[in-house]
Structure 1
């Protein structure tokens, strides 16, 4: 196995087994910009919880897609036309995501987070709108 692949595999192991469980724990509190997306696997039917970075917005949330839109959890949300967001201990049913341009997405976050998002070159943002009670 070449060095680049070993580094990549190590990074994914770190994310899956250390970082994501830690951010899921933080997301269950009222601290930080993290939330949990509860979604159902489009093929497996299994329920998953994925930590994401969010900012509350009018009628919902703006989310930052750290790894871009081509990840499994995002595909699951699109296939289901929505998901549940757990934010500061409360659950919100939300509709299918709507893409935002980079400038609008970053502007939805507080200035310190905008700076970090800009420095990290984050460019994929979407709006999740809370479903109306029927």
Structure 2
């Protein structure tokens, strides 16, 4: 069921959100990563919050998604936020409370209601 859901999201919703993210408007950003096995470059839409050290990502579907596994394996990636590309030099766990706070209201409230607790700091160079 989970695999079917992720396939559906990749082939429908993600295509729309990639266009929105490329426009530089709206809540979506892009993470550009290289496949662990294929070596192919991919772009995946995600939601990020800006912090002084870089950006906070909430792992909506957990750690077992390809974009996250790819950036951990590579130790780096690029993110497209507000119309600009940023180099990410490290990926680090981030405290749950601070992660929710980084997103601000109303996203923070939604993250609390959904009991989201997996956040990562995408440290920029």
Matched, 1:80 2:74: yes
With the length of structure 2 as denominator, give the TM-score of the two structures: 0.91
1:69–1:12 distance in 2 versus 1, CA, 3 Å: closer
1:33–1:44 distance in 2 versus 1, CA, 3 Å: same
- Show the counterpart of 1:54: 48
With the length of structure 1 as denominator, give the TM-score of the two structures: 0.85
How do residues 1-134 of structure 1 correspond to structure 2 at under 5 angstroms? 5=1, 9=4, 11-131=5-125
- SS of residue paired to 1:67: coil
Does the 8 A contact of 2:57 with 2:119 survive in 1?
A: yes
Q: Which is greater in Rg? A: 1
CA distance, structure 2, for counterparts of residue 56 and residue 20 of structure 1: 21
CA distance, structure 2, for counterparts of residue 51 and residue 117 of structure 1: 18
How many equivalent residue pairs? Answer: 125
RMSD over aligned Cα, in angstroms? 1.6
Does the 8 A contact of 1:33 with 1:55 survive in 2?
A: no
CA distance, structure 2, for counterparts of residue 77 and residue 34 of structure 1: 18
